[in-house]
Structure 1
Amino acid sequence: MHKKHHYKSTIKWTGNLGTGTDHYKNYERSHTISVENKTIIEGSSDPAFLGDKTKHNPEDMLLSALSSCHMLWYLHLCSAEGIIVTEYTDHATGIMIEQSNGSGYFSEVTLHPTVAVSHESMIERAKNLHHKANEFCFIAQSVNFPVNHEDPIVFVQPL
């Protein structure tokens, strides 16, 4: 039996400078992303596409979604296996290819996790669980490009 989960998001363009989209350079790419009962996210396009560098862009959010989904599955799996994680940081990177016609696609994402565990005996098992987290991550299972993992850095930091 499969469970269905439904999600809703409202995207509202806020970049009309008075003349709409009458010219490529006459409007901002600014928009808001809102989900009921959650903080509004200020969005734009990547600065390479005339976006506001101080706002989140779809490419950043895709990369962040992959990284946070992986982390949440990883923490769950560690908890279930008795591995006590005390810190987790990932400096994820992604490559998007822009084609000559202006379209584009992500060719890959690489996660670079650094994890602290509470005891040395947990290090090897903690490293190995990253592969299982990738197999369970909903977002990683939904994209058509590889989600790679650098060998995780796992060190001991007692509680």
Structure 2
Amino acid sequence: MSREHRYEVTVRWTGETTSYRGYSRDHDVEAAGKPTLAGTADPAFLGTADRWNPEDLLVASLSECHMLTFLSLCARAGVVVTGYVDNASGVMREDGAHGGRFTEVVLRPEVTVAEEGMREKAAALHHDAHDQCFIANSVNFPVRHEPVAR
């Protein structure tokens, strides 16, 4: 049975585009019942460093989706996870013609399990989590994994 889910957000910007360098890239990302995210462009594209940019959010989405899928699989397989940290990174390459694309994202989850005997199963479940992650299945670039189980 196929199910469909919808997601609605509002991106709100105010200002004036008087010149390319002269307008603010700062904006808000809103969704009903959720805290507002302070958004901007990457500083390389005249955004501010203290706000989330779309590139940050894409890498974060891949990391979050993998983690949530992995934790679900672990819970179902009897693997007790007691800690999870992912220092994820992404590479975006500009094409020189005012465009570009991500070429890869690398997830580096460090997982702590309750018992030594669970480490091997936890490590194996990262493959399944990748195959089932909604976001990873939606992008057209490689999402690699370098997991560590402790």
If the length of structure 1 is used for normalisation, what is the TM-score? 0.93
The letter of the residue matching 1:120 is E
**Structure 1 partner of 2:125:** 129
1:109 aligns to what SS in structure 2?
strand
1:77-156 paired onto structure 2 within 5 Å: 77-150=73-146, 152-155=147-150
* Paired residue total: 150
1:13-53 C-alpha deviation (Å, 9 max, x unpaired): 13x1xxx1121011110000000000000000000000010
- State percent identity of aligned pairs: 47
- Alignment gaps of 5+ in structure 2: none
CA RMSD of aligned residues (A): 0.6
* Partner of residue 41, structure 1: 37
Please report the TM-score for the alignment, with normalisation by the length of structure 2. 0.98
- Structure 1 position 102, deviation (Å): 1.4
The CA distance in 2 between the partners of 1:7 and 1:153, in whole Å, is 32
Look up the equivalent residue of 2:31 and give its one-letter code. Answer: V
Once residues 153 and 11 of structure 1 are traced to their aligned partners in structure 2, the CA distance between those partners, rounded to angstroms, is 37
Partner of 1:69, secondary structure, is helix
Q: CA deviation at 1:140?
A: 0.1
Q: Distance in 2 between matches of 1:119 and 1:66?
A: 27
Structure 1 gap segments, 5+ residues each:
none
* Residues 73-120 of structure 1, C-alpha deviations (whole Å, 9 max, x = no match): 000000000000000000001000011111010010010010000000
Give every structure 1 segment of 4 or more consecutive aligned residues whose post-TM-superposition deviation is greater than 2 Å. none
Amino acid in structure 2 at the alignment position of 1:78: C
